[in-house]
Amino acid sequence: MKKIVLMLLAVASAAFASDAAASSEMVQAYSVLAAGVGLGIAAMGGAIGMGNTAAATIAGTARNPGLGGKLMTTMFIALAMIEAQVIYTLVIALIALYANPFL
């Protein structure tokens, strides 16, 4: 944890020490980094959520095969909602990359 804090302080000192032209490039570089990290975290969370949803559906169907169709319908709705969160993150990342409001 200390290494991360020291790294962030080092990067922040470089950002505050730069001039206006380099500042614009620095903001663009940080936007790319933030978009990559944000998408990675969103994709990881979505994959974990989808895996848990599928596992619960399979377990429920194994316990009561008569409810398999109803469980599958509910699972697909849940998967769509989980995937929507990842797509929202993608949209925010694309806004930060191409229509950067921080410049």
DSSP 76-93: HHHHHHHHHHHHHHHHHH
7 located within any domain: no
Question: Containing domain of residue 37, as a range?
Answer: 23-98
**CATH number assigned to the domain comprising residue 50:** 1.20.20.10
Q: What is the pLDDT of residue 22?
A: 65
13 located within any domain: no
pTM above 0.85, yes or no: no
12 located within any domain: no
33 located within any domain: yes
Q: What is the pLDDT of residue 3?
A: 74
pLDDT < 50 positions in the chain:
none
What interhelical angle do 68-98 and 20-63 show, nearest 10? 180
Q: CA-CA distances (angstroms) from residue 40 to 1, 33, 43?
A: 20, 11, 5
91 located within any domain: yes
Count of the separate structural domains present in the chain: 1
